[in-house]
Amino acid sequence: MKELKDTLWKAADKLRGSMDASQYKDVILGLVFLKYVSDAFDERRGQIRTELAAAGLNEDQIGQLIDDVDEYTGRGVFWVPERARWTYLAQHAKGTQASLDEHAKTIGELIDDAMAYVMGSNPSLAATLPMIFNRDNIDQRRLGELLDLFNSAKFTGQGATKARDLLGEVYEYFLEKFARAEGKRGGEFYTPAGVVRVLVEVLEPTHGRVYDPACGSGGMFVQAEKFLESHHKEGSEISVYGQELNERTWRMAKMNLAIHGLNGNLASRWGDTFARDQHPDMQADFIMANPPFNIKDWARSESDPRWRYGVPPAGNANYAWIQHIISKLAPGGSAGVVMANGSMSSNSGGEGEIRAQLVEADLVSCMIALPTQLFRSTGIPVCTWFFAKDKTAGAHGSVDRTGQVLFIDARNLGHMVDRAERALSDEDIARISGTFHAWRGSASAVSAGLTYDDEPGFCKSVTLAEIKAADYALTPGRYVGAAEVEDDGEPIEDKIARLSAELFAQFDESDRLAAVVREQLGRVNV
């Protein structure tokens, strides 16, 4: 699969030409989406044909029934008109010839038409798909070649994996590649998969409403769906709600959700969460978010009812995001939010007072300090805040954690993927989430036989009184302390003497080498 992804990426990269990065992204992701809806349509069409044939119908009868739109849309499959189907486009990858009733069309025109047909037949996709394939800056020959490559590529997987599931993987792969290529701009629509998985594995969103107020390209929702799949549950067990400010990113999210079979409510258009909450009455069971850090210019109103714990400062929206998210939590709901590290201890603009109110309201359940360099787009160190409306023993765990906060210092986890980026491994994520669930007494921890103990240098359960004594700072390193040094059996006095002797020996060797160098330089000068 990796070889297929890399091949497609290299082929797609040939199209870059005179396009800017954001337009190029729209072209490639739009093409992947069109391939997906067409494959899903063909798959469903084959199922219908098989069902009708098994019922004893002949070809004429099958032909009369196989185009019943409800048989597709009722199964969550988009209706794809004939001229929008991949087979038609692949047959005309070099464009069409002129006829009596139609002028010759380039492949770009045909793809634009296909996008219009799909949106016209599926109201949920209205205003979502890009129609930019016939613009002057798009090389039509290379576009046709890319179409041929997608057509010949074998989107087949192991066992029951379907071709369209692999197209979903290709879409996510391309999102990651575009985010890396675009640097800081890429961080606006893409959160590293490891960070998203920390949120998902800690929260375990298995049911109800899942919300993201700054949803980017929808990565939180996709990982939630994968979590359900890994636990043998259906994606239909969650309802997805999101909002996104950027129009292009909102379109990407709509396509991403559709590819993964998630019926998400991302509102009828993009919009600013602070200026106009597009889900005003929605209360979520789970909230996962990576909102933009440290926004200085945001739609602030001092009378906003969301500011129950204090009015956020005009120069930083971090605590506005936090309070908006808390305002959206249903009774018993929980949330995970990625924030800049400064949010854990800042006292400027009244943020310290707001943090104190959040702690005293017993809303904070866990604070995790993450490693540096997880985000290629920013060097700002990040952390994750976890909130819970109910920390008593019950549905969320068998241990009552009222009046306590778990601190995890995960800064030493992860490995370098390259010189600029760090990633969390499956083991790292399992260690973080397993620690939280053991602390909470969650069913997943109980079934795995996990029990919780404070671990110096990594985790500690802290009372609200202790946090108050620390002036409400929520930095994990302040509480977990230093890791225990393994006792090697050597008495400390002997160790100091040994190391001192080794150090003095190194000094002597350094002096000897310096004398040799001076002697050699003297000979050169002569």
The pLDDT of residue 83 is above 50:
yes
| Residue 373, domain member (yes or no) | yes
Residue 159: pLDDT over 60: no
Q: Closest Cα partner for 480 from 414, 416, 435, 427?
A: 435
443, 458, 480 — which closes off a domain? 480
138, 200: one domain: no
Which stretches of 231-312 are DSSP H helices? Answer: 247-259
Q: Tell me, yes or no, whether 509 and 461 share the same domain.
A: no
3-state secondary structure of 335: strand
This prediction has a pTM of 0.84
Asked whether residue 487 is assigned to any structural domain, the reply reads no
Element (H, E) at 326: helix 318-327
Task: Let me know if residue 236 belongs to a domain.
Answer: yes
Domain shared by 195 and 131, yes or no? no
| Residue 127, domain member (yes or no) | yes
In a domain, 486, yes or no: no
pLDDT of residue 160: 37
How sure is the predictor about 157, in pLDDT bands with cuts at 50, 70 and 90? Answer: very low
Same domain as 105, residue 252: no
User: Does 170 share its domain with 290?
Assistant: no
Say how many CA atoms lie within 13 Å of 161 toward its Cβ.
12
Whether residues 306 and 366 fall in one domain: yes
**CATH code for the domain in which residue 375 is found:** 3.40.50.150
Average pLDDT, the chain: 89
Kindly state whether residues 234 and 135 are assigned to the same domain.
Answer: no
Whether residue 308 is found in the same domain as residue 159: no
CA distances from 265 to 28, 250, 262, 504 (A): 24, 11, 9, 69
pLDDT at 233 over 50: yes
pLDDT, residue 488, reads 66
The one-letter amino acid at 446: V
Domain of residue 504, residue span: 492-526
β-strand partners of 462: 405
Decide if 185 is inside a domain: no
Judge whether 19 lies within some domain. yes
> Are 515 and 388 contained in the same domain?
no
Which residue is listed with tokens 């219908």? 48
Could you tell me how many residues make up the chain?
526
For 454-467, the DSSP string reads: -BTTTEEEEEHHHH
Q: Are residue 283 and residue 309 in the same domain, yes or no?
A: yes
pLDDT digits (tens, 9 = 90+) for 415-435: 998 887 899 999 999 999 999
* 239 and 275 fall within a common domain: yes
431-479, pLDDT tens digit by residue? 999 999 999 999 999 999 999 999 999 999 999 999 999 999 999 999 9
Residue-wise pLDDT for 234-273, tens only, equals: 767 899 999 999 998 899 899 989 888 887 899 989 999 9
Contact 420, 377 (CB under 8 A): no
Report whether 474 contacts 337 (CB < 8 A): no
Kindly report, residue by residue over 172-217, the tens digit of the pLDDT: 888 888 877 776 555 567 888 899 999 999 999 999 999 999 999 8
pLDDT exceeds cutoff 60 at 156: no
**Which range among 42-56, 170-184, 281-295 shows the weakest confidence by mean pLDDT?**
170-184
Question: Alpha-carbon distance 165 to 167, whole Å?
Answer: 5
Say if residue 373 is in the same domain as residue 461. Answer: yes
Counting the structural domains of the chain, the total is: 3
Q: Which two tokens stand for residue 32?
A: 């992947």
Beta strands in 375-488 (DSSP E): 382-388, 404-409, 415-416, 422-423, 459-463
Average pLDDT over residues 15-40: 82
3-state class percentages of the chain: helix first, strand second, coil last, to nearest 5: 50, 10, 40
The listed range with the strongest mean pLDDT (164-173, 253-262, 344-353, 510-519) is 344-353
Residue 183 lies in a domain: no
- Closest-CA residue to 375 (of 413, 420, 321): 420
- pLDDT for 487: 61
Domain boundary among 177, 208, 233: 177
